[in-house]
Amino acid sequence: MQKRHLGTSGLEVSALGMGCMGLSFGYGPAVDHTTGVQLLRAAFERGVTFFDTAECYGPFINEELVGEALAPFRDQVVIATKFGFENGDSKQPLNSRPNHIRAVVEASLKRLRTDRIDLLYQHRVDPHVPIEDVAGAVAQLIQEGKVKHFGLSEAGASTIRRAHAVQPVAALQSEYSMWWREPEREILPTLAELGIGFVPFSPLGKGFLTGAINESTTFDDSDFRNVVPRFSEQNRKANAVLVDVLGQIAERKQATRAQIALAWLLAQQPWIVPIPGTTKLHRLEENTGAASVVLSADDLAAIQVALDGITVVGDRYPAHLQKRVGN
């Protein structure tokens, strides 16, 4: 698989990374440990060198899984993890106090079986802690060699600028896909100006863009999508038009919907690195195959016209979570 650089940070990763959250958290029951290890190692065998986790995925068990799976080839991969919640629990209050950041890093290093975190993100902006203090705390960890690069997640442009002035931000991780294009308005221009890489999560619309989900799909009781407005039965029915158009494009290119959606993201900027996640080997192979799909200028123009003619219905987060993004 081809490599990409996340902005001007010097951090080189595979063109497609792997979002590891779904193996342990968010989309129904966790996979069994052995299956998770095997899938992560299969990703590495297929050229993926960029793996994304967080202390709150579980909590904690996802980092342990990633640490065990990647231990045999630790020096050949880039591991990203995150801090930002009280007790590592995303249902609890935000906490980005400097002493808490340090404690989280020490615990994450042990779970990940490593002596350094390649990319450390603030998971969500904490309104009670100045971003300058957060950046300063991570800068100290970088000086100590425990962290290599600093990242932000779902931060607004002003916060990105303030953080970057204290400690260069290597990457921003936020949602971006064919059905959530908000970053194009202000975030992508800001990142381009500052030389910051972009790591889109949910690049397949939490599975919707694959075509595997329709209005009659039911989710496990523990699946996060049950509370996402965009995934209400009515909104899934309305948004099916996007999946239909994506299918037409995929058929012309002899690819799958997922591959077109990922290839489209890769074509937006050379410093964009999507991190699709999956629990299935055949989906992993499908996703990694997207790195070989080439979209011509004519393809991209046609996709742009199609997307501009579609209005996606439904908020991407319930109200209480929407308050935590874009700050």
Spatial distance between the Cα atoms of 199 and 188, rounded to a whole number of angstroms? 11
pLDDT of residue 242: 95
| Contact criterion met (CB below 8 Å) for 47 and 84 | no
pLDDT of residue 208: 96
**DSSP labels for 229-264?**
GGGSHHHHHHHHHHHHHHHHHHHHHTS-HHHHHHHH
Residue 10 falls within a domain, yes or no? yes
For residue 261, CA distances in Å to 208, 265, 305 come to 11, 7, 15
Residue 158 falls within a domain, yes or no? yes
User: How many structural domains does the chain have?
Assistant: 1
Q: Residue 52 is part of a domain; what is its CATH number? A: 3.20.20.100
Run of H or E including 55: none
pLDDT of residue 61: 98
Cβ atoms within 10 Å, residue 296:
10
Give exposure, 86-120, as e/b (b: 16+ Cβ within 10 Å). Answer: eebebeeebbbbeebbbebbeebbebbbbebbbbb
pLDDT band, residue 190 (cuts 50/70/90): very high
Residue 9 falls within a domain, yes or no? yes
Residue 264 falls within a domain, yes or no? no
Model confidence over 275-315: pLDDT tens digits?
A: 999 999 999 999 999 999 999 999 999 999 999 999 999 99
Residue 53 falls within a domain, yes or no? yes
Catalytic residue among 57, 121, 176, 317: 57
Residue 327 falls within a domain, yes or no? no
Run of H or E including 77: none
pLDDT band, residue 2 (cuts 50/70/90): very high
User: Cα dihedral sign for 280, 34, 292, 297?
Assistant: positive
Spatial distance between the Cα atoms of 195 and 227, rounded to a whole number of angstroms? 35
User: Across residues 184-193, what is the average pLDDT?
Assistant: 98
| Contact criterion met (CB below 8 Å) for 49 and 78 | yes
Is 57 an active-site residue? yes
pLDDT of residue 278: 97
Residue 248 falls within a domain, yes or no? no
| Residue/partner pairs of 278-282 with CB below 8 Å, 24 or more apart | 278/22, 278/39, 279/22, 279/23, 279/27, 279/31, 279/35, 279/39, 280/39, 281/39, 281/42
Cβ atoms within 10 Å, residue 39:
22
CA dihedral 275, 74, 196, 261 (to 10 degrees): -20
What is the residue range of 46's domain? 3-204+269-293
Residue 244 falls within a domain, yes or no? no
pLDDT of residue 280: 97
- Residue where the block lists tokens 């980092």: 63
Spatial distance between the Cα atoms of 261 and 209, rounded to a whole number of angstroms? 7
pLDDT of residue 163: 98
pTM exceeds 0.95: yes
Model confidence over 44-54: pLDDT tens digits?
A: 999 999 999 99
Model confidence over 142-187: pLDDT tens digits?
A: 999 999 999 999 999 999 999 999 999 999 999 999 999 999 999 9
Spatial distance between the Cα atoms of 273 and 305, rounded to a whole number of angstroms? 24
